[in-house]
Amino acid sequence: MNVAGAEGLATTLHASNTPFTGAVDVAQLFSEHAAAAGINITVSREPEDGYWSNIWGKKPFFASRWSGRATEDLMLLLGYSKEALGGYNATNWDNDAFNVALTAARSEKDDAKRRALYAECQSIVAEDGGLIAPVWADFLDAKSSKVSTPDAISGDWDLDGNRCAERWWFNA
């Protein structure tokens, strides 16, 4: 912390169990581990009612939840772009090199070049982005042998992208 010029760094992490069950506990664990690095994080447990309108995107450091998206472009656009729809770029991060690479990737027809541009975007986010992701969700669905599904199901949200009611069927 001394080398980074951040000795005595202190901040408040606003959390509620609204984004996901256990978010306040995760914030507390995060705070405890940060303390070992000399970072003092005070966890402020916020009311669940009004969390999205009063805390999310309004406080400088807050708990949130993201699920996967159908394409790299959609994930990068919504989570990190200055053009994010619906204000989903909750950290308000803005990086010109990222925005240029994302726009270029969107119009690139060559798969290898487009993949390289998306990789560049991800590298920029990792080096400069405003997001700390201490955990990643592993979506695991279980079903009875009496239920059938298509060969491939969505891995971006719970229960086949929350579309199990329209994609799954009961066996006779």
| pLDDT of 139 above 70 | no
| pLDDT of 1 above 70 | yes
- Name beta bridge partners: 44: 14
Q: How far apart are the first and last CA of the chain?
A: 63
| pLDDT of 48 above 70 | yes
* pLDDT top residue among 68 and 96: 96
| pLDDT of 101 above 70 | yes
CA distance 160 to 140: 10
The pTM assigned to this predicted structure is 0.75
User: Alpha helices, DSSP H only, in 46-85?
Assistant: 51-54, 72-80
- Percentage of the chain lying above the pLDDT 70 cut: 98
For the chain, how many residues are written? 172
Average pLDDT on 71-92 reads: 85
CA distance 127 to 145: 45
| pLDDT of 62 above 80 | yes
Range scoring the smallest mean pLDDT among 52-61, 109-118, 153-162: 153-162
Q: What is the pLDDT of residues 11-43, one digit of tens each?
A: 999 999 999 999 999 999 999 999 999 999 999
| pLDDT of 10 above 80 | yes
Q: What pLDDT is attached to residue 6?
A: 82
Q: Where are the domains of the chain?
A: 1-65
- Mean confidence (pLDDT) of the chain: 89
